[in-house]
Structure 1
Amino acid sequence: MQDPSDPLLSPSVSSSRPDSSQSAAPGWERQTLERLAFETLREQRASRRWKYGLRLAWLVFLALLAWLVLRQNVPTTGPALPHTAMVEIKGEIASEGEASADSIMAAMRAALEDSGSKALVLRIDSPGGSPVQAGLISDEVRRLRALYDKPIYTVVEESCASAAYYIASATDRIYVDKASIVGSIGVLMEGFGFTGLMDKLGVERRLMTAGDNKGFLDPFSPQTEAQRKHAQAMLDQIHRQFIEVVRQGRGTRLKESPEMFSGLFWTGQQAVDMGLADDLGSLDRVARDVVKAEDVVDYTQRANVAERLAKRFGAAVGEGAVKTLRMLPALR
């Protein structure tokens, strides 16, 4: 018998079957193109949603940041209940820090304007800083004390040195811990000189100025004797101002000695013995036993998290702008 499956014996059957690859090709291409088109649309939609979501998140963040920055950091004391007002002076006294004259003076005014405050305590923990900022705060202490007729005290924690003591000496009384660091009544100007090292390295400094003494604090230029004397005269004058402020504030309580205004510092117990401080005492003790108002309200102006982030963001933007401007000549 003949095998019907043999292609040689049944040519009519094999030739009558359609080519499956040829018939499926048009449908396969269409489906592939449709899938690619749909995938592209989905990716575009997802990308747009991501962009919109990111922009919305930034808007929410910026709105929250603005709200936090605009919030007033004003202490509330209820219906003007009797209390001891406190303003903290912590860290370096500088124009750009939290212990700046603007910040401290505004806090002191807010504290003394409150009808419930019976006295103001400056809680100081500072190694010093700018004599200008300290002088502004010291003058404001005297003005506010006379204006509101309320006592202003100092309570020292770890340290009250240099510019910090400049401020403390203007207050009515100074209370310290027996181990506090107090004093350092002096002035300094610091820097470095690299002229000898440059000579050894064979480096030449090229500094152009208009004025013979314009660059006399430049560490890479030699300092003349006349320039040194000029700087020393400035320091001596500021030192005399410092001494006068201390004498005026402490009066007859001072037990002056040659070392008192030499820049040395002492423990709190030694400061009491020398008349640089009045007594040992903490903030709670002064509020309870001296002011007779145990409740302490903090009027210190502190930058919140949002303000610090805003400052850092602004600094970063400014730095980026400066870098961009510096690159412009190279791009032209």
Structure 2
Amino acid sequence: MAIELTTPKWNWLQRLTGRGKTPIPVVRLHGVIAAEQRQGRLNIATVGPLLKRAFAIKAAPVVAIIVNSPGGSPVQSRLIAKRIRDLADEHNKPVLVFVEDAAASGGYFIAVAGDEIIADPSSIVGSIGVIMAGFGFVGTLEKLGIERRVHTAGSNKSTLDPFLPEKKSDIERIKQVELDIHNVFIDVVKKRRGSKLKAADDVLFTGEWWTGMRGLELGLVDAIGDIHETLHTRYGKEIDLKMIEPKRPWFGIPRLGFSNGISGDIAATIEDRSIWARFGL
């Protein structure tokens, strides 16, 4: 009786090195979106090189992007989203976006750059709106006995000055700026999501945010799931997730500096926490 010998599909060396598996690059975008170069912030300067490396992996059938952001700069959000689409078109690769805790406001702007958006049922998605916030200290200096002197060339140069009363003309101008930015956001969502959207504009574009489950019903996301289950289901068990991360400094020595100061770090941390806190995160 003949005995048939079979060779395992993957030997131990292949398993160890990842060779023979399907490579899938993963870019994780976590944090507030802002132009400032600071740890924990997302912007085109820091994200662009990661995206370039991810799309350069020729053997990859898809690029996976994890988004976990409460939003931030509309300009940086658009630049990152555009870079994703430009690279996807250049390399002819589909993009799957996976939402963790939140893809809200600018985070959702980035998410719609994906060909599909997969969210956790409890993720926060949406918040398609624009907000400008600040504080008013009118009368504070006078109570402290301090005289403030402001001289401008241009009648609108002191707009948003926290020590001056708000003017109706300033509010109207700010509202127009917000509407312009909001319309850009709406146009991008409609272009990318198209017929997938299942609710009227006065529901989707009010700045309201929803859970991933509700987002699925509204057409803001395509499916409920997570990155591991989704990729294994679609591309098989033998996949090699390649995390694309920032390159570390030589010899693992961190960069030291005091240009921003400790107070700047504290202020930035407080600002970031306040943005996350809008969504209870």
Regarding TM over 0.5, the answer is: yes
SS at match of 1:272: helix
- Determine whether 1:273 maps to 2:217: yes
Q: Residue 72 of structure 2 contacts residue 106 of structure 2 at CA under 8 Å; is this kept in 1? A: yes
Partner Cα separation in structure 2 for residue 312 and residue 232 of structure 1: 39
Q: Per-residue deviation at 1:216?
A: 1.1
Partner of 2:7: none
What is the identity, as a one-letter code, of the residue corresponding to 1:195? V
What is the identity, as a one-letter code, of the residue corresponding to 2:58? S
What is the identity, as a one-letter code, of the residue corresponding to 2:26? M
What is the identity, as a one-letter code, of the residue corresponding to 2:179? D
Describe how 1:87-126 pairs up with structure 2 within 5 A: 87-95=27-35, 96-97=37-38, 98-126=41-69
- Determine whether 1:259 maps to 2:203: yes
Q: Per-residue deviation at 1:312?
A: 2.7
SS at match of 1:146: helix
Q: Per-residue deviation at 1:78?
A: 6.9
Q: Per-residue deviation at 1:223?
A: 2.5
What is the identity, as a one-letter code, of the residue corresponding to 1:135? R
Describe how 1:146-161 pairs up with structure 2 within 5 A: 146-161=89-104
Partner of 1:32: none
SS at match of 2:93: coil
Q: Which has the larger Rg?
A: 1
Q: Residue 81 of structure 1 contacts residue 116 of structure 1 at CA under 8 Å; is this kept in 2? A: no
- Among all aligned residue pairs of Structure 1 and Structure 2, give the percentage whose two residues are the same amino acid: 34
SS at match of 1:312: coil
Partner of 2:154: 211
Partner Cα separation in structure 1 for residue 142 and residue 85 of structure 2: 52
1:232-274 CA-to-partner distances (Å, cap 9, x unmatched) read 1001000000011111111100012322111111001000010
Aligned length: 241
- Determine whether 1:139 maps to 2:82: yes
Larger strand percent: 2
1:48-82 CA-to-partner distances (Å, cap 9, x unmatched) read xxxxxxxxxxxxxxxxxxxxxxxxxxxxx876952
1:28-64 CA-to-partner distances (Å, cap 9, x unmatched) read xxxxxxxxxxxxxxxxxxxxxxxxxxxxxxxxxxxxx
What is the identity, as a one-letter code, of the residue corresponding to 1:278? D
Q: Per-residue deviation at 1:151?
A: 0.5
Q: Per-residue deviation at 1:153?
A: 1.0
Partner Cα separation in structure 2 for residue 137 and residue 307 of structure 1: 28
- Determine whether 1:248 maps to 2:191: yes
Give TM-score, length-normalised by structure 2.
0.78
- Note closer, same or farther for the CA distance 1:211–1:237 as it changes in structure 2 (3 Å cut): same
Q: Residue 107 of structure 1 contacts residue 301 of structure 1 at CA under 8 Å; is this kept in 2? A: yes
Partner Cα separation in structure 2 for residue 160 and residue 202 of structure 1: 46
Unmatched segments (≥5 aa) in structure 2: 1-16, 265-281
Give TM-score, length-normalised by structure 1.
0.67
Larger helix percent: 1
- Match 2:239 to one of 294, 304, 315: 294
Partner of 1:61: none
